[in-house]
Structure formats: structure tokens, C-alpha cells
Amino acid sequence: MWIILTVIAAISLVIYWRGPNSVWGGITFGFIGGLIVAVVSVFLGNGFHWSTIGRGIVIGILFGVCAELLGKVASRANRATE
């Protein structure tokens, strides 16, 4: 499942590569969230896993893509009501 999500995230990252957008914010949020979870995992005795940070980044990218698409849908709906 994570392989499929990673491929979708990578394709989305290529599509939204240029300019500041929600995808880049999602990457940042995902990295920070994944890092926090990985550090807490160390203190709980489970060890540090880089895959936790990678999964956080993938989730962040997907949330960013959802935010971008929601903005496009809202913009299109706003134009349709005018």
C-alpha cells in the first residue's frame, strides 16, 4: 500500500513542482510530523526509523494535493455561480 501511495505522491510532486503551493507546505508539515513521531518512538524504546519520516512526507504531499484540488474545485464553483 505504501508503495502505491509513494508513487502517487511522487507523480503529484512532479505535477506541482513549480512555485509555492500547498504540496510544498505538506512536505514540510509531513517531515516535521514524521520527525516528531520518530523521535518519540526512540524515547518509547522502539528505535529510530527513517521510514516513519518518509511516510510522514508522503502523507503530507497527499494532503497538499488534496488542498490544491479543493482550491481548484472551489474556484471553479465560484466562477459557475457568478
**pLDDT per residue as tens digits for the range 32-47:** 999 999 999 999 988 8
Q: Where are the domains of the chain?
A: 22-81
* φ, ψ of residue 39 in degrees (nearest 5): -70, -40
Cell of 61: 504531499
Go through the chain and tell me how many residues it has. 82
**pLDDT per residue as tens digits for the range 1-42:** 999 999 999 999 999 888 888 999 999 999 999 999 999 999
pTM: 0.85
